[in-house]
C-alpha cells in the first residue's frame, strides 16, 4: 500500500502541491475505506483518529484537491451529501454504481461496459466524451429473495 501513497505524492508534486501530514492522513483513510463511499464528514471523523488536530475545512480542501487531480471522484447519490470515491489507478473512466433501494448498499462495477454506448453517443450526438457517471437503482443481490447469490468478484 505504501507505493500507492508514493505515487499519489508524485502526482501532487507534479502539480506543485505538497503531501502534508494532513493530506497524507486523509489519503490513508480513503485507501483504508476503498469499498465505502464516504462523505466529507465521514472522512473527517475517521481522519481525526489518526490526526486529531485536523480541521474539517482541511478535509474539504484536500478532497477538492484530490478531485481536481482525478485521484478521487466526487459523487452524489441524491441524499444531500457529496461522497468521495478513489479512482482505480490508471482507470480512464469512472466506475459505475449499484444503489439498492431496499437496504441502501452501494456496490461498484469496475468494468467499463459503456464502450459501445459511447461510440454511438460520440458519433450521433457529436459529443466528445471525457468521462461519465452511471448509477443503477434497484434491488441488490442481498435483498433479492429469489435464492439470489453473491455475484462473482468484479474484474
Partner DNA sequence: TTATTATTTAGAATCATTCTCAACTGGTAA
Partner DNA sequence: TTACCAGTTGAGAATGATTCTAAATAATAA
Judged by the rule CB under 7 A, the positions of this chain that interact with DNA are 16-18, 20, 22-23, 39-41, 51, 53-58, 60-62, 64, 80-82
| Euclidean distance between CA atoms 28 and 11, whole angstroms | 15
What are φ and ψ of residue 13, in 5° steps?
A: -60, -40
Q: How remote is the C-alpha of 46 from its chain's centroid?
A: 16
Name the binder of 124 from DNA, its own copies, none, CB < 5-8 A by kind: its own copies
From CA 89, how far away is CA 71, in angstroms rounded? 8
Q: Which residues bind its own copies (CB under 8 A)?
A: 74, 76, 78, 98, 101, 107, 109, 113-114, 116-118, 120-121, 124-141, 144, 148-152
CB 139 within 8 A of CB 102: yes
Q: Which is nearer to DNA, 10 or 18 (CB)?
A: 18
Interacting partner of 81 out of its own copies, DNA, none (Cβ under 5 to 8 A depending on kind)? DNA
Q: In the complex, what is the shortest distance from the CB of residue 82 to DNA, in angstroms, rounded to a whole number? A: 3
Cell 465521514 belongs to: 42
23 binds, among its own copies, DNA, none (CB under 5 to 8 A by kind): DNA
Amino acid at each position: 500500500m505504501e507505493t500507492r501513497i508514493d505515487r499519489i505524492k508524485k502526482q501532487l508534486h507534479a502539480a506543485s502541491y505538497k503531501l502534508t501530514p494532513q493530506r497524507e492522513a486523509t489519503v490513508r483513510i480513503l485507501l483504508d475505506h476503498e469499498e465505502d463511499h464516504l462523505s466529507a464528514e465521514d472522512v473527517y471523523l475517521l481522519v481525526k483518529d489518526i490526526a486529531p488536530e485536523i480541521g474539517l475545512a482541511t478535509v474539504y480542501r484536500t478532497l477538492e484537491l484530490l478531485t481536481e487531480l482525478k485521484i478521487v471522484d466526487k459523487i452524489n447519490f441524491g441524499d444531500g451529501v457529496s461522497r468521495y470515491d478513489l479512482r482505480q489507478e490508471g482507470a480512464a473512466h469512472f466506475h459505475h454504481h449499484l444503489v439498492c433501494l431496499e437496504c441502501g448498499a452501494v456496490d461498484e462495477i469496475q468494468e467499463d461496459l459503456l464502450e459501445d454506448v459511447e461510440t454511438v453517443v460520440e458519433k450521433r450526438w457529436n459529443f466528445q466524451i471525457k468521462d461519465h457517471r452511471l448509477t443503477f437503482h434497484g434491488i441488490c443481490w442481498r435483498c433479492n429473495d429469489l435464492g439470489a447469490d453473491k455475484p462473482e468478484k468484479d474484474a
